[in-house]
Amino acid sequence: MTYKQDPMTDIPVSSLTYAIKGQRLLEQNGYTAWAGRDHDRVTGCGYKLTIRGGEEKAEMARALLMQNGIRLARRSRNGEEGGGR
């Protein structure tokens, strides 16, 4: 039997502290979330939240995080993730 796997979406955050706080906030609001290192980032602290769900769910999660003071990593002019400071 084959099960459909929900997609995973990464949300870069500005620090380890925000990653952990964000994970707790998302879990309290019904999301499945993990905080961890973002090894693909070349600038900034390099932490991210990974949530179970596609881009639509990730947009709702981003809004929830920002409404609750979780600083997301900025995007640079070329669209790559940047540092959070």
Q: What is the pLDDT along the chain (85 residues), one digit of tens a residue?
A: 555 678 999 999 989 999 999 999 999 999 999 999 987 765 666 899 999 998 999 999 999 999 999 999 875 433 444 444 4
- Please answer whether residues 33 and 27 qualify as being in contact, where contact means their C-beta atoms are separated by less than 8 angstroms: yes
Judged on CB neighbours under 10 Å (0-12, 13-18, 19+), 28 is: exposed
Residues 37 and 19: their CA atoms lie apart, in Å, by 9
CA 56 to each of CA 6, 7, 10, 72, 73: distance values in angstroms, whole numbers, following the listed order: 12, 11, 12, 17, 19
- Please answer whether residues 18 and 70 qualify as being in contact, where contact means their C-beta atoms are separated by less than 8 angstroms: yes
Does the model's pTM come out above 0.85? no
Report pLDDT for 83.
45
